[in-house]
Structure 1
Amino acid sequence: MNDRYGYGTDVLATDWRAPRRGRAREVAADPGMVVEDVDTGWCGAVVGVEKVGGMQVVHLEDRRGRRKGFPLGPGFLLEGAPVVLTAPVDRRAVERLATEREAARRTASGSVRVTDRPARVATGSRIWVEGRHDAELVEKVWGDDLRVEGVVVEMLDGVDDLASLIRSFAPTRDQRLGILVDHLIPGTKETRIVQEAERVSPWVRILGHPYVDVWQSVKPARLGLDAWPVIERGRSWKHGILAELGWAHRTQADVARGWKKILGTVRSYSDLEPTLLASVEELIDFVTVPPPHEE
């Protein structure tokens, strides 16, 4: 076909109605971006977007520092090309959403949340902890992980007779026992008890933390403190702590309420001291015995 006028073989095969500068694309009006208003020729950097009289307005500042507002939308040029300005993305909101989505993927212990596997039937392995508060803290941070593994946490009423309790449990390779002990530091009564108890069986592991009470394993910053208060000898540690915090502290009910407030500040493993984290994680690894077909 003779193309004497230069239209090509099919004039309708191209976008013959497209503007000379090209079609406008949407661009977020981010601060600092330099654009030109087509109607007035005003050229300036975006300094803000706000809602005025039910309409969004973009404010441009020219090189002399003068500012002028224009309706947000079409009618602007960016580097000579037409654009439709849209409200800038709230990057903090985007980052916050990404953080929330990542948090939803993980348990409080930081492990990837398992969603396609039901909790295992409880195995014979156990983790023993000293007292209700220890158990509640372990449940809050590691509960999801322990349910997936089928490991049960049980409370001890002190460790004075620990060796005898271990003999009664009779741990084996497939039914292991992990024990978390409070205030486990050299030279203490607890250390001597643990050394004796560890001789009972190779399938028991006893670890601890150096704190007087598991309360201290919560980072003091979560309570607005630089450090946990020092309580003098002879004074009830928990009652003393509550008094130093300015909370009710006279009765056991006050202690229970105080612990609930402290526990409520714990959102994840990052709110706990590394010493406790290391001990609990090691105990979980020790007692987590894979089923025979997984070995």
Structure 2
Amino acid sequence: MNPIRKPFRLDPIFPFDIVFKDRKNSRTELPDHLHDLYELVYVYEGKGTFFIDNAFYEKEEGDLFLIPGNTIHRSFPDADRPILSTAVFFAPAFVESSSLDDAYVPLRCFDIARKKKQYKIELTEEFKQRTRETLDEIADELRNKEPGYRHAVRLGLQRLLLTLGRLPFTREDGSMDKRIGPQWIMDALRSIDNDPGQSGGLAELAAKACVSASHFSRVFKQLTGMNVTDYVNAKRLVLAKELLLSTDDNVESIALACGFQGLPHFYLTFKKLTGMTPRAYRLIER
């Protein structure tokens, strides 16, 4: 299954959305998906597994997850203990503001999460309470819509991100690795993530893991919900999108650099996932 792009129809001047205290189960969860918005997920109760980028995490009461934009992810709730959670979605521009001449960056916690490949944060009881209160306040503002409610929502989110930016995990020496899964799967996912353009196929990955191709494929699909080819193509497309926006390289050069064998395959795969051609994406997003 190819990862889907979750659609959002947000007000351009208020690029924010919240799914407040939603009960999750296997029937209502999306398959593997990604989106341009940044996402913050707080778990109130229940149990499950979260697949984010190239890692798997236990998902339990009081956990907080940071998911940067264009990161493949999927939740697998426990059948007997479904998840109750709040998910916040926002565009980076919503929280960014003019510099006040210090080193603080509102999205630093997301940048560190991406850099360390560590998307789960286990919070102190004090910060759990503070997070719940802030999410309650945001939901109340959106429900009541009193004058200035949009400013209140942004201030609430900025306050939450400020506190996250001061937690130990945002320091370079912080270490809170909570990933789960067989080591050979972790190694394979890391290899694909580091260089999706040169990533081998199923046979090569299985050989490196010293397991049979059928066993590799079965476990990979069980844990990620995707087959190897779809996952590699999704990672290649994420890289292609970054190169389309950050370089002036022509589309064919980017396609080859990302591991696609030619423009037809690249165009077909890119449009299937994003709904637009590479050139249209570059023109619209720049």
RCO higher in structure (CA 8 A, sep ≥6): 2
Q: Tell me the TM-score range normalised by the shorter chain.
A: under 0.3
Structure showing greater Rg: 1
Q: Higher helix fraction: Structure 1 or Structure 2? A: 2
